[in-house]
Amino acid sequence: ILNVEQSPQSLHVQEGDSTNFTCSFPSSNFYALHWYRWETAKSPEALFVMTLNGDEKKKGRISATLNTKEGYSYLYIKGSQPEDSATYLCAFMRGSNYKLTFGKGTLLTVNP
């Protein structure tokens, strides 16, 4: 059984705050780590696919880092906006077999 842990479970921040969440995954036989953003009643939206230790990716105000040796990834949001409110899911792929194992997600609420 693969355990993908995300923390915190939920987070409330004020508009303009910067925030970050953590995804922990098994470090053995790593293949890829995905981040998704999921708004209620919408499709999960892909943010990043990360494959190399030390990877850093950025998309607007959102960025992510990856440490495959210790088994964690951080997602950062700079200057949070109310439209960033969503559940942020990470998903781990062990070996190149198409199978993603998801964490439970971090629910972010940004108050105006």
Chain residues in the site for another protein (CB under 8 A):
4, 31-32, 34, 36, 41-46, 49, 51, 89, 93, 95-105
Rounded CA separation 46/88 (Å): 10
Which positions ≥6 away from 97 have C-beta within 8 Å? none
In angstroms, give the least distance from the CB of 81 to another protein.
23
Residue 84 DSSP label: G
Contact predicate 13/79, CB 8 Å: no
Is the Cβ of residue 15 or residue 45 nearer to another protein in the bound state? 45
Shortest spacing between CB 43 and another protein, in angstroms: 5
Non-local CB neighbours of 51 within 8 Å, separated by 6+ positions: 31, 32, 33
Residue 83 C-beta: closest distance to another protein, Å: 18
Cα angle 33, 40, 83 (rounded to 5 degrees) comes to: 85
Q: Which of residues 80 and 107 has its CB atom nearest to another protein in the complex?
A: 107
Choice between 80 and 103, CB closer to another protein? 103
Q: Which is nearer to another protein, 15 or 56 (CB)?
A: 56
CB 109 to another protein: min, Å = 16
